[in-house]
């Protein structure tokens, strides 16, 4: 692991995951944010292109919270959409050429994955309001439950390489 990389495992908790991702982004100012989450109904990997300011949990999170039609960020407009900053079409093309079984999605759900993604995008936008040159690559990858760990780790490595090339102007 390089000294420039920071990894964190976030809890399946609306409040704790949101707080932790915002803290990490505020303190670390990362160039790339890769969030991963399990999509129980997925058969392919899904690159999520947006998050919605709405939590609507069909089951409680690990803290027992089950928000129903509640904004993720109270100060933002309910149902506001924030677009991820990954170049999703370019990533899909490159990753498909590398034989990854991947598709685009514009629906990150309304559970902790979407809430964390929305909070990350909101936090980078808030920082960007004060630091105009701060434009991190922020995105979310949903993982199907049946995929082997090696396959998933190879995919994440390819995403890192592609985003690093994008940032350096070689993508």
Q: Calculate mean pLDDT across residues 52-64.
A: 97
Quote the CA–CA distance of 129 and 5 in Å, as a whole number.
25
Q: Torsion-angle region of residue 69: left (phi > 0), alpha (psi -120 to 50) or beta?
A: left
Domains of the chain: 14-167 (3.40.630.20)
Does 1 have pLDDT greater than 80? Answer: no
Residues forming the active site = 48, 113, 142
Least confident window among 33-37, 116-120, 128-132: 128-132
Sheet holding 137-143, edge to edge: 32-38, 137-143, 45-48, 102-105
pTM of the model: 0.93
Q: Please give the angle made by the CA atoms of 14, 10 and 105, to the nearest 5 degrees.
A: 75
At residue 3 the predicted structure's pLDDT band, cuts being 50, 70 and 90, is: very low
Placement of tokens 């990362």 in the chain: 30
Does 130 have pLDDT greater than 90? Answer: no
């Amino acid at each position: 692991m390089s000294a420039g990389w920071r990894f964190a495992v976030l809890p399946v908790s609306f409040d704790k995951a949101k707080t932790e991702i915002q803290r990490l982004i505020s303190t670390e100012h990362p160039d790339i944010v890769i969030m991963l989450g399990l999509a129980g109904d997925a058969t392919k990997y899904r690159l999520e292109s947006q998050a919605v300011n709405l939590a609507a949990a069909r089951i409680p999170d690990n803290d027992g919270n089950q928000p129903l039609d509640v904004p993720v960020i109270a100060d933002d407009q309910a149902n506001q959409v924030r677009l991820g900053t990954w170049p999703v079409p370019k990533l899909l093309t490159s990753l498909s050429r590398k034989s990854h079984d991947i598709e685009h999605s514009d629906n990150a759900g309304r559970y902790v994955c979407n809430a964390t993604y929305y909070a990350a995008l909101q936090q980078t936008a808030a920082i960007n309001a004060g630091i105009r040159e701060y434009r991190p690559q922020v995105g979310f990858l949903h993982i199907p439950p049946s995929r082997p760990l090696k396959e998933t780790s190879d995919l994440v490595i390819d995403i890192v390489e592609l985003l690093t090339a994008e940032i350096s102007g070689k993508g």
